[in-house]
């Protein structure tokens, strides 16, 4: 959908606030997930499913409240439940909404070989264009968060769009709208960072979480989904959130130096060819010498 | 709720106990999170399990199910010992200073004075105040022989009543003043004793009660704490008393009537508050008026019995608002019987049935099992599933002649004859005729819903009911009209109560719910004049502006006095959607309408000191405006508008005392003026306070073969039931989306128990009580831990109630199809008649 739609500031006959008012889409957008106020109600899971038109699938009880082990090609938003015992013996039930992080430096995009199968919008949203997807699955190896998932039926890869279709018409993503506790917020990256930092400070100063902090990993140049964590030093506790995510070196190497080298080799080959052509001219077909009769050339 | 959902954002401290709002009231829980984020408010979560509410708490304490009174009693002791209570509030706004009759005995042995062990009942004569005057500083009580005299008379003594003038001691030193008695009562609840009973280590317990009472450090009144609970408190054989203990704590700490304070019940359905208000109960009439009993000869004697007279220290005032009971009740009778309700026939009082005994939920099934109840109409509920002892209920239905179920799904009740274990041969022997009526779903009907915060909010139908489905009121109307026709034609023993029912709806076969709402609000039947000026205030036929104008002479009608004001001449107040909140305190005075009188926080006069100034100037609710000579406020004052603070009118206007009750005198509660810790009927231990009187002495057990109780030697594990955020009761198991989120039933068991029994997560296990067997997968978790109860290790387990034998997964036979209530006992609280589902005994086996 177009990114050039106009922001709403007033709506006739509409009670309450105007969705998206005050959001200037020239800025980078950001989703804030405050895991310390998440109650694991899964309203975001259902909202995501309903907005994106996916139907339910069969699940099995897995010794957890968690709906399924990982996100799926048709289940983009999953609360990960983790029981954690703190050093003082007290219990924690860590609940983290897992979804695409919309990296500033997206590994999926870096890894993708298909023209325009993955795009990054000016507002920061990283979006898959399934029409151009060739189903190679390289994006899956490129992602440090294990997010893109392959659909065996469509033979294409899918993931959260940050509700690009909603955001582009001035609405907040479906998960944000459904959240009952205000654990999810949506706004500009600047605002969300400030809000996250304020909350993290409060957790440190008031609630006794000395290591509370904001998760906005620099390894991928920051993300457009950021977390407030009680324990920012150990993000792995929250269902395997990587401590220092990077685009895998294989992808970096392949899409960086190797690609450059490859290109160099290719261009070098061409240049060599051109030089050879200029230096030696075209290969001429040698006239067939008449045989002198004894089978030897003169 | 004394307060409301939005008001929780104003609090500084939350004790969440007997409830799990994050999971069961997620939308309302936003206000708890807002208090946390914006006010640095703290949450203390006390629960048998570490829940999703606990995950947001500042402190979690694991308690043994059913020991809440011990926990709270110890809190009262701690608050008094550490001067963490509201002294001025306590003396002036509660009955702390009232002096109790001589002869009253505290339950050191588990029994209050007056217990008749043969009959199993109490003579409550001594549970009363002493008549008299100011005894401040006089520790020697005057002889009370004068008061003993009437009982010595030969004629049968009149039922005990509260004295009009109560003796009091404002220094709170008199040994029989309520404060001293309360102090003595809870002096036994030491942290050590609480640890032995509840299983909470002493240090943890002290941390929790220190945190909660810290709002009243050195008696400072600025901060406010709230107590939030749900059915984890009500579903015990002493549930009402747990809630009373919470009320006492909030009175002691001066938290009632204040923004961010109160005692807040979270209701489990969108309209369960409305159901209670409308008296969906056998023992109350709409608006919490009392029901007639066989001893009430006529209206006059009934009103005399049920209209309280004030009982207070003589210099104080008490509005005693229930002195208006005759106006409320006569207006109700006028709404019920219209023109047939005349002064001559006591406004149709004799049309009302007399309630002669307990007809509560468990009794209905007991009576059906014994062949006394022949049929049942089940609307808006799944009868087999919701109550205790599912097996008994199914077997009771087998004996009924007929069953009518109005539902949108085929539920366990209408399919009781197909419950697991009933063979095809047995099915042929069941002669109950089942009528299934397709009803409209929630989105297909309009009407009002009353939420936990007492907000009466109108909702509109989204779509019409599909196919042959009909609105509930249409079904009820049809049944009523046909029954009335039969009575008209055939007469019968006493047709008058049916023939004279007022049915003044424009379309009698399809009553409009807005007309019902207008009927609840009430209207004038004659011109109503102002007492002073003689001017007509409301003309005959007009809607009433509120309950203040109700009359006891038949000139007004009102279906429910507390709803008067909901649909006035100005129109429907319950359809209002104003989002203004001038005070910023979440009052939203123009959003829907709350009973009573659009008041959002009850008893809000108590948010001010004696001079009428708010305890906390930053959270101003109401205040005395000296210039105007009346009370003003951001909320509607819950008080006599022109009562000067100097008049010392009590802020608890619904009590005849005018003050809050720390001591509940005669007639208020069945088992005693102060709550006492009793063990659940099935408990792993004897009562450590009084082993000879372990349980609530007033609990009665049924005698049917299904009413069996487990021996703690065999059934060693404490079990509790609960709900999950992903499912809604027994309903959403028919919705694929909810089923995807929680696909199967499970049992949460501690890691240690699992290891002991060789159970791994996802293994099928049986949970067995004396009454039934439940089968589901094991959820092995560290969120439940073994507890030390009086030096013995006790395990607790929990299981969600949602699944049964009818639903998407059940129909596909993907689970064991066993309802949770197969396990629970049909024993109830003697006050509210709520069954004991939270805390019973089981054993666990690998399947």
H or E element: which one contains B239? Answer: helix B239-252
Say whether both A267 and A193 belong to one domain. no
* Chain B closest-CA separation from residue A244 CA (Å): 26
Q: Which of B30, B741, B777 sits opposite A181 (nearest CB)?
A: B30
Residue A63 in any domain: the answer is yes
Would you state the pLDDT for residue A262?
81
How confident is the model over A42-69, as pLDDT tens digits? 999 999 999 999 988 899 999 999 999 9
Would you state the pLDDT for residue B155?
56
Alpha-carbon distance of A240 to A281, in angstroms, equals 61
Q: In terms of CA atoms, which chain A residue is nearest residue B27? A: A180
How confident is the model over B422-464, as pLDDT tens digits? 999 999 999 999 999 999 999 999 999 999 999 999 999 999 9
Q: In terms of CA atoms, which chain B residue is nearest residue A91? A: B783
Which residue from B622, B664, B638, B635 is spatially nearest to B562, judged by alpha carbons?
A: B638
Scanning B745-804 for CB atoms below 8 A from A yields 746, 761-762, 777-783
pLDDT mean over B382-387: 94
Q: Is the pLDDT of residue A3 over 60?
A: no
Q: Is the pLDDT of residue A293 over 60?
A: no
Residue A17 in any domain: the answer is no
Query: Contact, B554 vs B525, CB < 8 A?
Result: yes
Say whether both A138 and A264 belong to one domain. no
How confident is the model over B155-188, as pLDDT tens digits? 556 677 999 999 999 999 999 999 999 999 999 9
pLDDT level of residue B146 (50, 70, 90 thresholds): very low
Total number of domains constituting chain A: 2
pLDDT mean over B312-339: 97
Residue A162 in any domain: the answer is yes
Would you state the pLDDT for residue A108?
95
Scanning B422-441 for CB atoms below 8 A from A yields none
How confident is the model over B643-681, as pLDDT tens digits? 999 999 999 999 999 999 999 999 789 999 999 999 999
pLDDT level of residue B619 (50, 70, 90 thresholds): very high
How confident is the model over B293-313, as pLDDT tens digits? 999 999 999 999 999 999 999
Would you state the pLDDT for residue A26?
58
pLDDT level of residue B148 (50, 70, 90 thresholds): very low
Say whether both A232 and A274 belong to one domain. no
Say whether both A207 and A278 belong to one domain. no
Residue A210 in any domain: the answer is yes
Q: Which of B22, B30, B724 sits opposite A182 (nearest CB)?
A: B30
Would you state the pLDDT for residue A2?
34
Say whether both A225 and A264 belong to one domain. no
**Residue B739 and residue A206: Cβ atoms within 8 Å?**
no
**Residue A49 and residue B737: Cβ atoms within 8 Å?**
yes
Say whether both A116 and A178 belong to one domain. yes
Best mutation site among B37, B55, B725 for testing chain A: the one with the most A CBs within 10 Å? B55
Say whether both A168 and A139 belong to one domain. yes
Residue B317 pairs in a beta bridge with: B649
Give the end-to-end CA distance of chain B in Å, rounded to a whole number. Answer: 43
Cis peptide leading into residue A286 (ω within 30°): no
Would you state the pLDDT for residue B776?
98
Say whether both A139 and A260 belong to one domain. no
- Positions of E strands within B746-803: 746-750, 764-768, 773-781, 787-789, 792-794, 796-800
Q: Is the pLDDT of residue B118 over 60?
A: yes
pLDDT level of residue B255 (50, 70, 90 thresholds): very high
CB contact B743 to A (< 8 Å): yes
Mean of all residue pLDDT scores within chain B: 95
SS3 (DSSP) at B464: coil
Q: In terms of CA atoms, which chain A residue is nearest residue B763? A: A63
Would you state the pLDDT for residue A1?
32
* Chain A closest-CA separation from residue B783 CA (Å): 7
Query: Contact, B319 vs B174, CB < 8 A?
Result: no
Low-confidence winner among A232-241, A284-293, B299-308, B562-571 (lowest mean pLDDT): A284-293
Q: Is the pLDDT of residue B1 over 60?
A: yes
Residue B772: exposure state from Cβ atoms within 10 A (0-12, 13-18, ≥19): buried
Say whether both A240 and A254 belong to one domain. no
Would you state the pLDDT for residue A19?
72
How confident is the model over A103-117, as pLDDT tens digits? 999 999 999 999 999
pLDDT mean over B370-397: 96
Calculate the alpha carbon distances from B231 to B52, B66, B247 in Å: 16, 12, 16
**Residue B26 and residue A62: Cβ atoms within 8 Å?**
no
Alpha-carbon distance of B346 to B234, in angstroms, equals 37
Residue A14 in any domain: the answer is no
Tokens linked to B496? 């008058």
Which residue from B18, B26, B25, B102 is spatially nearest to B65, judged by alpha carbons?
A: B18
Percent of chain A with pLDDT over 90: 72
CB contact B9 to A (< 8 Å): no
**Residue A37 and residue B56: Cβ atoms within 8 Å?**
yes
Q: Is the pLDDT of residue B705 over 70?
A: yes
Position with higher pLDDT, B150 vs B774: B774
pLDDT mean over A7-31: 72
| Model pTM above 0.90 | yes
Residue B379 pairs in a beta bridge with: B406
Q: Which of B40, B54, B779 sits opposite A63 (nearest CB)?
A: B779
The range of the structural domain enclosing residue A207 comes to: 29-247
* Chain B closest-CA separation from residue A187 CA (Å): 18
Tokens linked to B585? 């305190």
Would you state the pLDDT for residue B158?
66
Q: Which of A40, A61, A202 sits opposite B743 (nearest CB)?
A: A61
* Chain A closest-CA separation from residue B814 CA (Å): 10
Residue A180 in any domain: the answer is yes
Say whether both A275 and A239 belong to one domain. no
Cβ-based contacts of A84 with chain B (< 8 Å): none
How confident is the model over A148-205, as pLDDT tens digits? 999 999 999 999 999 999 999 999 999 999 999 999 999 999 999 999 999 999 999 9
pLDDT mean over B71-95: 98
CB contact B53 to A (< 8 Å): yes
Percent of chain B with pLDDT over 70: 98
Say whether both A253 and A196 belong to one domain. no
- Positions of E strands within B315-369: none
CA dihedral B815, B816, B819, B822 (to 10 degrees): -160
Q: B657 — phi, psi (to 5°)?
A: -80, -20
Query: Contact, B140 vs B150, CB < 8 A?
Result: no
Residue A110 in any domain: the answer is yes
pLDDT level of residue A8 (50, 70, 90 thresholds): low
Tell me, rounded to whole angstroms, the distance of Cα A19 from its chain centroid: 25
**Residue A180 and residue B27: Cβ atoms within 8 Å?**
yes
Residue A294 in any domain: the answer is no
Which residue from A136, A38, A107 is spatially nearest to A78, judged by alpha carbons?
A: A38
How confident is the model over B508-529, as pLDDT tens digits? 999 999 999 999 999 999 999 9
* Chain B closest-CA separation from residue A56 CA (Å): 6
Cα Rg of chain B, angstroms: 27
pLDDT mean over B476-492: 96
Would you state the pLDDT for residue A290?
62
pLDDT level of residue B624 (50, 70, 90 thresholds): very high
Q: Is the pLDDT of residue B291 over 60?
A: yes
Which residue from B740, B814, B727, B734 is spatially nearest to B776, judged by alpha carbons?
A: B814
pLDDT mean over B5-33: 97
Say whether both A234 and A124 belong to one domain. yes
Cβ-based contacts of B52 with chain A (< 8 Å): 39-41, 93, 95
Which residue from B560, B570, B475 is spatially nearest to B522, judged by alpha carbons?
A: B560
Would you state the pLDDT for residue B150?
44
Alpha-carbon distance of B133 to B152, in angstroms, equals 24
Q: Which of B55, B577, B762 sits opposite A61 (nearest CB)?
A: B762
Structural domains of chain B sorted by starting position, each given as residue range(s) with its CATH number in brackets: 6-91+187-270 (3.40.228.10), 604-651 (no CATH), 691-846 (2.40.40.20)
Tokens linked to B431? 């002669």
Which residue from B46, B48, B15 is spatially nearest to B32, judged by alpha carbons?
A: B15
Alpha-carbon distance of B388 to B386, in angstroms, equals 7
């Amino acid at each position: 959908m177009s990114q050039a739609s106009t922001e709403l500031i007033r709506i006739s006959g509409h009670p309450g606030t105007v969705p998206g008012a005050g959001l200037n889409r020239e800025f980078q957008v950001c989703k804030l997930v405050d895991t310390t106020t998440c109650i694991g109600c899964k309203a975001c899971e259902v909202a995501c499913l309903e907005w994106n038109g996916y139907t339910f699938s069969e699940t099995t009880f897995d010794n957890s409240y968690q709906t399924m082990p990982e996100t799926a090609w048709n289940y983009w938003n999953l609360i990960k439940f983790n029981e954690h015992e703190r050093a003082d013996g007290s219990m924690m039930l860590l609940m983290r909404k897992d979804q695409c992080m919309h990296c500033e430096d997206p590994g999926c995009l870096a890894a993708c070989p298909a023209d325009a199968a993955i795009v990054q919008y000016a507002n920061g949203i990283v979006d898959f264009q399934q029409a151009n997807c060739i189903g190679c699955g390289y994006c899956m190896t490129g992602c440090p968060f294990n997010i893109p998932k392959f659909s065996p039926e469509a033979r294409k890869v899918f993931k959260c769009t940050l509700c690009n279709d909603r955001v582009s018409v001035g609405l907040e993503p479906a998960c944000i709208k459904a959240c009952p506790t205000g654990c999810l917020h949506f706004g500009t990256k600047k605002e969300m960072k400030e809000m996250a930092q304020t909350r993290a400070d409060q957790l440190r100063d008031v609630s006794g979480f000395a290591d509370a902090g904001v998760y906005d990993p620099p390894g991928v140049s920051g993300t457009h989904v950021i977390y407030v964590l009680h324990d920012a030093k150990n993000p792995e506790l929250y269902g395997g959130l990587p401590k220092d995510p990077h685009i895998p070196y294989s992808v970096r190497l392949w899409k960086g130096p190797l690609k450059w080298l490859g290109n160099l080799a290719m261009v070098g080959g061409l240049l060599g060819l051109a030089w050879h052509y200029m230096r030696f001219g075209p290969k001429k077909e040698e006239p067939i010498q008449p045989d002198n009769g004894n089978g030897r050339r003169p | 709720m004394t307060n409301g959902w939005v008001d929780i954002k104003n609090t500084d401290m939350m004790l969440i106990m007997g409830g799990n709002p994050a999971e069961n009231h997620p939308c309302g829980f936003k206000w708890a999170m807002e208090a946390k984020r914006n006010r640095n408010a703290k949450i203390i979560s006390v629960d048998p399990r570490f829940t999703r509410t606990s995950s947001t708490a500042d402190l979690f304490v694991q308690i043994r199910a059913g020991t809440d009174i011990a926990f709270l009693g110890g809190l009262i002791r701690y608050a008094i010992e550490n001067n963490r209570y509201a002294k001025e509030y306590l003396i002036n706004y509660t009955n702390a200073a009232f002096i109790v009759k001589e002869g009253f005995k505290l339950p050191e042995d588990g029994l209050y004075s007056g217990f008749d062990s043969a009959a199993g009942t109490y003579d409550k004569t001594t549970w009363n105040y002493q008549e008299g005057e100011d005894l401040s500083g006089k520790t020697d009580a005057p002889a009370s022989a004068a008061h003993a005299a009437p009982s010595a008379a030969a004629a049968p003594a009149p039922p005990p009543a509260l004295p009009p003038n109560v003796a009091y001691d404002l220094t709170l030193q008199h040994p029989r003043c309520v404060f001293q008695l309360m102090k003595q009562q809870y002096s036994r609840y030491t942290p050590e004793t609480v640890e032995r009973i509840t299983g909470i280590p002493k240090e943890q317990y002290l941390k929790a009660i220190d945190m909660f009472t810290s709002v009243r450090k050195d008696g400072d009144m600025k901060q406010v704490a709230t107590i939030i609970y749900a059915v984890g408190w009500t579903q015990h054989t002493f549930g009402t008393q747990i809630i009373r203990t919470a009320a006492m704590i909030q009175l002691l700490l001066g938290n009632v009537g204040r923004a961010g304070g109160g005692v807040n019940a979270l209701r489990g359905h969108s309209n369960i508050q409305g159901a209670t208000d409308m008296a969906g109960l056998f023992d109350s009439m709409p608006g919490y008026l009392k029901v007639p009993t066989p001893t009430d000869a006529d209206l006059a004697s009934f009103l005399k019995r049920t209209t309280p007279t004030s009982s207070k220290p003589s210099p104080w005032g008490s509005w005693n608002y229930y002195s208006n009971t005759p106006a409320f009740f006569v207006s109700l009778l006028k709404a019920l019987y219209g023109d047939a309700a005349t002064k001559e026939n006591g406004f149709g009082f004799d049309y009302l049935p007399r309630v002669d005994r307990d007809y509560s939920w468990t009794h209905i099934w007991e009576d059906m099992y014994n062949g006394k109840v022949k049929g049942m109409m089940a609307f808006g509920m799944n009868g087999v599933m919701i109550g205790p002892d599912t097996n008994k209920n199914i077997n009771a239905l087998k004996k009924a002649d007929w069953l009518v179920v109005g539902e949108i799904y085929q539920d366990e009740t209408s399919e009781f004859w197909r419950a697991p274990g009933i063979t095809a041969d047995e099915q042929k022997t069941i002669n109950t005729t089942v009528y299934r009526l397709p009803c409209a779903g929630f989105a297909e009907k309009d009407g009002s819903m009353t939420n936990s915060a007492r907000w009466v909010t109108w909702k509109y139908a989204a779509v019409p009911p599909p196919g042959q489905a009909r609105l509930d009121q249409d079904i009820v109307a049809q049944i009523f009209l046909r029954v009335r026709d039969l009575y008209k034609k055939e007469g019968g023993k006493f047709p008058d109560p049916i023939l004279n029912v007022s049915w003044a709806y424009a379309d009698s076969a399809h009553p409009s719910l807005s007309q019902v709402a207008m009927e609840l609000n009430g209207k004038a039947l004659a011109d109503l004049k102002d007492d002073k000026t003689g001017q007509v205030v409301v003309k005959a036929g007009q809607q009433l502006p509120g309950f203040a104008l109700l009359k006891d002479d038949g000139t007004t009608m009102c279906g429910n006095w507390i709803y008067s004001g909901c649909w006035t001449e100005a129109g429907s107040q319950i359809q209002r959607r104003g989002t203004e909140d001038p005070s910023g305190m979440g009052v939203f005075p123009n959003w829907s309408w709350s009973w009573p009188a659009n008041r959002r926080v009850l008893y809000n006069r108590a948010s001010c000191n004696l001079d009428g100034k708010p305890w906390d100037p930053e959270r101003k609710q109401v205040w005395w405006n000296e210039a105007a000579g009346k009370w003003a406020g951001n909320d509607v004052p819950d008080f006599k508008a022109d009562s000067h603070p100097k008049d010392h009118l009590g802020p608890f206007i619904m009590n005849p005392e005018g003050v809050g009750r720390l001591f509940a005198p005669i007639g208020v509660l069945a088992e005693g003026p102060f709550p006492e810790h009793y063990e659940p009927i099935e408990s792993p231990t004897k009562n450590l306070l009084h082993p000879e009187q372990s349980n609530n002495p007033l609990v009665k057990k049924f005698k049917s073969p299904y009413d069996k109780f487990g021996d703690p030697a065999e059934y060693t594990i404490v079990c509790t039931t609960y709900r999950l955020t992903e499912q809604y009761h027994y309903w959403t198991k028919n919705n694929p989306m909810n089923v995807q989120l929680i696909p199967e039933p499970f049992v949460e068991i501690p890691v240690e128990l699992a290891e002991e029994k060789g159970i791994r997560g996802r293994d099928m296990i049986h949970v067995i009580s004396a009454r039934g067997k439940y089968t589901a997968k094991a959820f092995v978790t560290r969120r439940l831990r073994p507890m030390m109860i009086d030096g013995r290790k006790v395990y607790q387990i929990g299981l969600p109630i949602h699944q049964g034998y009818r639903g998407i997964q059940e129909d596909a036979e993907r689970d064991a199809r066993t309802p949770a209530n197969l396990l629970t006992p049909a024993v109830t609280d003697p006050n509210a008649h709520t069954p004991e589902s939270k805390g019973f005994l089981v054993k666990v086996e690998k399947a």
